[in-house]
């Protein structure tokens, strides 16, 4: 799986880290560059809370089978 952050949209607000059940392990917020950086994705259980809570709709979660799951992004726009 992959978590893709749209750096054009991300403001570095940290809501993804705050809302993620594994936030401390997965999310790093670079406040200077105003971006969120996900890592250690073995801890991610694809709950998509981060994507649903991101105020900028900047997070896309992509499973290994290329199925994109995001409540705020249409799959077939
Ligand atoms: S919640 Fe969205 S805008 Fe805020 S830091 Fe995370 S990815 Fe960036
Ligand atoms: S999908 Fe869930 S566990 Fe994975 S990074 Fe987002 S909030 Fe955290």
Domains of the chain: 2-64 (3.30.70.20)
* Order of all β-strands in the sheet with 59-62: 2-5, 59-62, 68-69
Instruction: Look at ligand 2, atom 8, and give the residue with the nearest C-alpha.
Output: 20
Specify the ligand 2 atom closest to the Cα of 3: 5
Nearest in space to 39 (alpha carbons), one of 5, 11, 72: 5
Q: What is the DSSP letter of 43?
A: G
Identify the nearest ligand to the CA of 29 by its number: 1
User: Ligand 1: which of 58, 60, 70 to mutate, most ligand atoms within 8 Å of CB?
Assistant: 58
Q: pLDDT of the chain along its 77 residues, tens only?
A: 899 999 999 999 999 999 999 999 999 999 999 999 999 999 999 999 999 999 999 999 998 764 444 444 444 44
């Amino acid at each position: 799986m992959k978590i893709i952050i749209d750096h054009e949209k991300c403001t570095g607000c940290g809501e993804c880290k705050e809302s993620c059940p594994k936030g401390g392990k997965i999310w790093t917020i670079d406040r200077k560059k105003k971006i969120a950086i996900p890592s250690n994705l073995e801890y991610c259980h694809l709950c998509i809370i981060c994507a649903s809570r991101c105020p900028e709709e900047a997070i896309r979660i992509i499973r290994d089978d290329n199925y994109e799951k995001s409540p705020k992004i249409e799959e077939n726009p």
